[in-house]
A and B are shown apart, each in its own frame.
Chain A
Amino acid sequence: MDKDDHGLLHSRAWLPPLVAFGLLTLGWQLYAVHNRFVVPTVPQILTQLVDHPGLFWNNLLVTLQEAVVGASIGMLAAFVLAMGMCQVRLVERALMPLAVVLNVTPVIAIAPALVVAFGFGMTPKYIVTAVIVFFPFLINSLTGLRSSDPQAHDVFTTLHASRWEILVHLRLPSSLPFLFAAARICMPLSVVGAVVAEFTAAGKVSGLGSLIETSASLSDLKTVYASVLVLAFMGIGLTVVVIVLQRRLLGWHQTAALRRP
């Protein structure tokens, strides 16, 4: 096996970004030392994290729950609608303009209204997060469901396969690469959705977004930047989960060719 096959374990894969990250941290530190009232220094941020693990952990769990539950609802709804649109043209003609309107409406604009309608609990946060991932997942699902090989479709048609059989045996598996590409966009996007929702609808339940807003109003910059760091790692974590699932389930897609005997 070639060295390159080890991918992420190989030094050529992780060394360049590590060096870039190190240089960025160093630049930050140099700037922060001379501008202590604008940005906190790197040790200050890290100390804040180490000193209050419970605070960040509990708020992380809240935001993570909002992001994952909201994104799941949004992606599931988008996929079900895409299947309907793919099977019945009329559904697409009727609902696609509505989906476009939903997409161009700034989510922040509807968040306060959602708080009035659903209170300060988790519901408005789930809705904002679901709305933000809905459209990209809808478009990708629809493209994916329509990406199946037309000649394979001919083979199914000459066997008189039903629409349902064509959906299950041909369209759904063909759409998987598109669904995973969409999930890689939507999972980090769901973190944005959750934080935006917390900004506009802070309320009873906390979360890293709420923590940032409260700390900023108190000029507690260490907590603000520590929260941002935690959010960044949360986004990375969610992306890694999608990539791992993608490699597991899509072995046939691009990587299959590498296993040529």
Chain B
Amino acid sequence: MGSGASADVDESKGEGGLDVLGVSKVFDTRKGRVPVLRDVSFRIGRGRFVSLIGPTGCGKSTLLRIVAGLLAADGGTVSIFGEPPERATAAKHVGFVPQSPALLPWRTVLDNVRVPFQVNQKADGAPGRRFRDPVEVLESFGLGDVLHSRPAQLSGGMQQRVAIARAFVFDPSILLMDEPFSALDELTRERQRHELLDVWESDQKTVLFVTHSVPEAVALSDAVLVMSAQPGRVRAVIPVDLPRPRGELVEATDGFHDLERQLRSELRVASNDHG
């Protein structure tokens, strides 16, 4: 697939989801104008978990920030269930999990998860909105014992789970995650991956998940978008047709290893493919 390829990772069209069409972005730096994203297009259907993977500097975080409405695109359109990012965030349809847990250290775990209820309350009256009980969400994340602890008293993995719970609790239509496990050690990282999988499989949200871990992308996703750098664009789409629910054992199957191998070779090509 060449530059400007359109990547469709949804077989059942027309029921909403995330539509990214021809998005481009240029950064003005002291060295001149650097194109970060060129004509990026893809589509994620409702309830699908899609990972974005690529070499460092391929603009995957920039793309996520554009989808989250944190950054404006220079060209192209983003549509989240039919709405542009500004309208989707105004209606609290977007759950964002940043790279660091970014918890408020002066609040308890429970009060951190309550943050989404305390801001932008105008959006709360929308029909069809079903807020979750923060205590129940935290319990389902295995954090029932630390409701009243401060973030500093928790391990890195637990802090990241609180950050994910904070994004789940207000029932957004899409979850955007920016390498949420990248700061964790390998063992913790694997555990977090499986816990996220458990939670997601019980409530299948539309997810765009940025990562640079191959096993993470394969284990979690319905499809993986491979990006190449300078300028960033979608090079390939790899469907992951492993059966769900996926337990830890799935990572030991041949199918899993084949997909890993395929993804790694795509990544290798993407890293060497400049311009």
Binding site for B on A (CB under 8 A): 149, 151-152, 154-162, 165-166, 169-170, 173, 176, 252-253, 256-257, 259-261
Contacts and interface: CB of A to CB of B under 8 A. Distances in A.
Kindly list the 6 A-B residue pairs having the minimum CB-CB distance in the complex, ordered from nearest.
A161-B119, A151-B102, A151-B98, A158-B96, A152-B102, A252-B106
Contact of B104 (A158, A165, A173): A173
Interface of B: 65, 68-70, 89-90, 92, 94-96, 98-100, 102-106, 115-116, 118-120, 123, 149-150, 152-153, 166, 170, 176
Contacts of B106: 173, 176, 252-253
A253 B150 CA distance: 10
Contacts of A158: 68-70, 89, 94-96, 176
Contacts of B100: 149, 151
B244 to A, nearest CB: 28
Most buried by A among B95, B99, B119, B166: B119
B105 A256 contact: yes
A160 B118 contact: no
Which of B99, B106, B116 is packed against the most chain A CB atoms within 10 Å?
B106
B98 A154 contact: yes
Contacts of B115: 155-156, 159, 169
Nearest to B108: A252
A252 B119 contact: no
Contacts of A161: 119-120
A151 B68 contact: no
B104 A162 contact: no
11 contacts: A151-B100, A152-B98, A152-B102, A154-B65, A155-B98, A155-B166, A158-B94, A165-B120, A173-B106, A252-B105, A252-B152
Nearest to B145: A261
A147 to B, nearest CB: 12
Given A160-B123, A169-B115, A257 B89 contact: no
B159 to A, nearest CB: 12
B102 A169 contact: no
Contacts of B123: 160
Contacts of B118: 165, 169
Given A154-B98, A160-B123, A253 B105 contact: yes
Given A159-B120, A169-B118, A152 B104 contact: yes
A170 B119 CA distance: 11
B90 A154 contact: no
B152 A156 contact: no
A38 to B, nearest CB: 53
Nearest to A165: B119
A154 B67 CA distance: 13
Given A149-B100, A151-B98, A157-B69, 5 more contacts: A152-B104, A155-B166, A160-B119, A170-B104, A253-B105
Contacts of B65: 154
